[in-house]
């Protein structure tokens, strides 16, 4: 959809207040971490209140201007990338933790709250906020909700959707609605809450959320195992899932990524094996569960280490936590995000390695083995804004592989701008039509993050 590319800044300023409208910042605020080069936007509105969000959307609807909601811009799918002439609606100033109700185990927050800050605040009440994307220290709750973000603890606690009880959302015409209830169960009406979570800013702007908190685990216990091959590590992950224990973390890292971590950290991880599996249990039974996992892994692995000590656990987690920073040292990273049924994990990783070999693309792999979410990381030369043809071919083939294995294009990062060409191939024409009909119903003028997600 083409939207008007010009409007008078003075009109917008008159509707808001001048310090909320920032014409200078448009270059950086038009980008996210995908590196997608479009834009720049015409202006950045840093909303300081729900009323300003409403006024911005009413203004945009009246003038037919695209609005791109923005949290921290840490997205990797191009969801927060803003086109020429658009308004970036930055929600990061709405960053209050309104209340934490320990008796209900819920938090009420504004969208600009940094994910780790909510978790820390919940900790003061003996609680925690389970979704923990790798970007937990920079991403916002609004962005997490809009992308249905996942994280390392997803194997046991699921994704952001599992933690959202209700949302206040400003619609494209400026109306404020509430979807969901602050209850743990609810059936009334269609599940608009479920629809809005993961809608990538295309159906409404989240301005407040009530989120489920959980009792903070009293202990964690970590098991690290190394294998001769990625197939063996994937088979071991399946064995852990079948053991009756549900680990909070279950992660796989491939050999080339281990070598990259060694180069960054001065460690010798790759010497331990060609694939790494990390499991962590939490709660009162953490040590018992870790013992069960270690028993399962010992006959399968080349080497197994277990620890209940927090410092030692942190060391064992290094191989997973440092995977992305290690690859970012090599060049520009393009983070893909397919998910497959967990039983197809080995086929997926093997397929990605074959694609790397056949296309010549440099691809590293780590995966949330607990839920089948695989991150093939393409590394291209720094400064290569547009992907070279062999990398594009590799990405295309990775998406095809995911669908062939009964999987999906994106487990947690969203479709954004980058994966739109593939959506119909995954969902089918009829569902695609329904999705566009829903978009038209919520946003008839097509002003909310046009060209994204569907």
Ligand X SMILES: Cc1cc2nc3c(=O)[nH]c(=O)nc-3n(C[C@H](O)[C@H](O)[C@H](O)COP(=O)(O)OP(=O)(O)OC[C@H]3O[C@@H](n4cnc5c(N)ncnc54)[C@H](O)[C@@H]3O)c2cc1C
Residues that bind ligand X (CB under 6 A): 32-33, 68-76, 79-80, 91, 111, 133-135, 139-140, 142-144, 146-147, 149-151, 200-201, 205-206, 324, 412-413, 449, 452
Cα distance between residue 127 and residue 318, in whole Å: 25
Q: How far is the CB of 90 from ligand X (least distance, A)?
A: 8
**DSSP at 416:** T
User: Which residues, including other chains, have CB under 8 Å from residue 206's CB and lie 6 or more apart?
Assistant: 69, 91, 111, 142, 145, 146, 167, 168, 169, 196
Residues 113 and 207 sit within 8 Å (Cβ to Cβ): no
Cα distance between residue 417 and residue 451, in whole Å: 7
Q: How far is the CB of 159 from ligand X (least distance, A)?
A: 8
Residues 177 and 146 sit within 8 Å (Cβ to Cβ): no
Of residues 74 and 272, the one with the C-beta less far from ligand X: 74
Maximum C-alpha span of the chain: 70
Q: 224 by DSSP, 3-state: which?
A: strand
Q: 369 by DSSP, 3-state: which?
A: coil
Q: How far is the CB of 111 from ligand X (least distance, A)?
A: 4
The H-or-E segment that residue 215 falls in is strand 214-215
Q: How far is the CB of 50 from ligand X (least distance, A)?
A: 11
Q: Determine how many CB atoms are found less than 10 A away from the CB of residue 279.
A: 30
Cα distance between residue 448 and residue 27, in whole Å: 20
Q: How far is the CB of 320 from ligand X (least distance, A)?
A: 11
Q: How far is the CB of 448 from ligand X (least distance, A)?
A: 8
Of residues 254 and 412, the one with the C-beta less far from ligand X: 412
Of residues 325 and 388, the one with the C-beta less far from ligand X: 325
Q: How far is the CB of 296 from ligand X (least distance, A)?
A: 26
Q: Which residue is nearest to ligand X (CB)?
A: 143
> First vs last Cα of the chain: how many Å apart?
13
Of residues 270 and 368, the one with the C-beta less far from ligand X: 368
Task: Give the dihedral of Cα atoms 212, 454, 375, 38; nearest 10 deg.
Answer: -110
Distances (CA, A) of 359 to 202, 337, 352, 356: 35, 19, 10, 5
Of residues 69 and 273, the one with the C-beta less far from ligand X: 69
Task: Give the dihedral of Cα atoms 57, 60, 61, 66; nearest 10 deg.
Answer: -100
Of residues 66 and 76, the one with the C-beta less far from ligand X: 76
Q: How far is the CB of 178 from ligand X (least distance, A)?
A: 14
The H-or-E segment that residue 195 falls in is helix 192-196
Of residues 134 and 446, the one with the C-beta less far from ligand X: 134
Concatenating the DSSP letter of every residue in 115-133 gives HHHHHHHHHTTTEE-----
Of residues 21 and 76, the one with the C-beta less far from ligand X: 76
User: Which residues, including other chains, have CB under 8 Å from residue 430's CB and lie 6 or more apart?
Assistant: none
Of residues 145 and 274, the one with the C-beta less far from ligand X: 145
Q: How far is the CB of 235 from ligand X (least distance, A)?
A: 24
Q: How far is the CB of 367 from ligand X (least distance, A)?
A: 12
**DSSP at 119:** H
Q: How far is the CB of 399 from ligand X (least distance, A)?
A: 18
Scan for tokens 């971590």, then name that residue.
261
Of residues 206 and 398, the one with the C-beta less far from ligand X: 206
Of residues 274 and 380, the one with the C-beta less far from ligand X: 380
Cα distance between residue 28 and residue 10, in whole Å: 22
Do the strands 87-90 and 97-101 form a parallel or antiparallel pair, or are they unpaired?
A: unpaired
Q: Determine how many CB atoms are found less than 10 A away from the CB of residue 335.
A: 17
């Amino acid at each position: 959809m083409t939207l008007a590319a010009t409007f008078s800044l003075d009109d917008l300023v008159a509707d808001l207040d001048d310090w909320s409208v920032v014409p200078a910042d448009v270059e950086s605020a038009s980008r996210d971490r995908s590196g997608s080069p479009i834009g720049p936007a015409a202006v950045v509105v840093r909303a300081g209140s729900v009323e300003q969000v409403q006024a911005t959307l009413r203004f945009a609807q009246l003038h037919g201007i695209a609005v791109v909601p923005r949290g921290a811009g840490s997205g990797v799918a191009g969801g927060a990338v803003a086109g020429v002439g658009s308004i970036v609606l930055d929600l990061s100033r709405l960053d209050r933790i309104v209340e934490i109700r320990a008796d209900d185990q819920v938090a009420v927050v504004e969208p600009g709250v940094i994910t780790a800050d909510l978790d820390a605040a919940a900790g003061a009440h003996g609680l925690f906020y389970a979704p923990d994307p790798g970007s937990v220290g920079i991403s916002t709750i609004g962005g997490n909700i809009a992308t249905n973000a996942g994280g390392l603890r997803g194997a046991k606690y699921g994704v952001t959707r599992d933690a959202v009880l209700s949302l206040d959302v400003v619609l494209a015409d400026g109306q404020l609605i509430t979807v969901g209830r602050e209850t743990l169960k609810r059936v009334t009406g269609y599940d608009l809450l479920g629809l809005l979570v993961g809608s990538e800013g295309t159906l409404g702007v989240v301005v407040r959320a009530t989120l489920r908190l959980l009792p903070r685990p009293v202990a964690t216990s970590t098991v690290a195992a190394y294998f001769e091959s990625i197939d063996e590590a994937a088979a071991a992950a399946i064995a852990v899932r079948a053991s009756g224990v549900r680990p909070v973390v279950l992660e796989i890292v491939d050999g080339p990524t281990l070598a990259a971590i060694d180069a960054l950290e001065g460690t010798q991880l790759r010497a331990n094996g060609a694939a790494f599996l990390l499991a962590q249990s939490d709660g009162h039974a953490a040590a018992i569960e870790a013992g069960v996992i270690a028993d399962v892994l010992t006959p399968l692995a080349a080497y197994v280490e277990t620890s209940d000590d927090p410092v030692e656990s942190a060391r064992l987690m290094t191989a997973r936590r440092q995977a992305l920073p290690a690859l970012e040292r090599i060049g520009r990273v393009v983070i893909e995000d397919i998910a497959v049924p967990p039983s197809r994990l080995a086929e997926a990783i093997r397929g990605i390695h074959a694609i790397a070999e056949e296309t010549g693309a440099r691809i590293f792999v780590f995966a949330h083995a607990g839920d089948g979410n695989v991150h093939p990381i393409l590394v291209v030369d720094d400064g290569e804004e547009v992907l070279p043809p062999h990398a594009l071919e590799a990405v295309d083939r990775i998406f095809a592989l995911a669908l062939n294995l009964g999987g999906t294009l994106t487990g947690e990062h969203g479709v954004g701008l980058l994966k739109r060409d593939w959506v119909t191939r995954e969902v089918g024409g009829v569902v695609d039509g329904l999705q566009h009909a829903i978009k038209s119903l919520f946003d008839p003028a097509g002003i909310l993050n046009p060209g994204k997600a569907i």
